[in-house]
Amino acid sequence: MTALVRLRAAGLKLTASGGRLLVEPRSALTDELRELIRANKSALLKELRAADNVRYRTSAAALEARRYRVERQLREHPELRVAFDAINAPLRPGPGEQVSVVLGVRCGEHILVGEITVPRERFQPALFLLTVDPSEKPAC
């Protein structure tokens, strides 16, 4: 089991920032985990950067495809005012990866499409739906 796998299994989120290693939540760090990080810092940074490079290359194309799908949905259905595509959206708030939402809004003859990311622990589906379309009544 690699150091990164052990740290993630302990509930830690690691991020490479330059030559620094950011670890969250700090409250979950034990002396043993701190020592594991110190002993493997360079390998952890290398592994995280490699994963980020792969994720960026694939996610740029995937993000563009998601934007296209949302825009196409609005063009094919003129009665819609908003459309969105969410990835990692939980049914209930909780720890985990950020929620990525591609949001399309019809504004007159124009369609505006963009992406927002929300910390997973703060994402609330009913509140999100009410925010993007106040005419919709949340089910909760």
Quick: pLDDT tens for 10-34: 888 888 877 788 888 888 889 999 9
Which residue(s) pair with 107 in the sheet?
110
Q: How many CB atoms lie within 10 A of CB 66?
A: 21
Residues 6+ apart with CB under 8 A from 3: 36, 37, 39, 40, 43, 44
Of residues 138 and 87, more confidently modeled: 87
**Average pLDDT over every residue of 130-140:** 59
CB contact at 8 A, 125 and 89 = yes
pTM across the whole model: 0.52
pLDDT of residue 74: 92
Angle, alpha carbons 54-56-58 (nearest 5°): 70
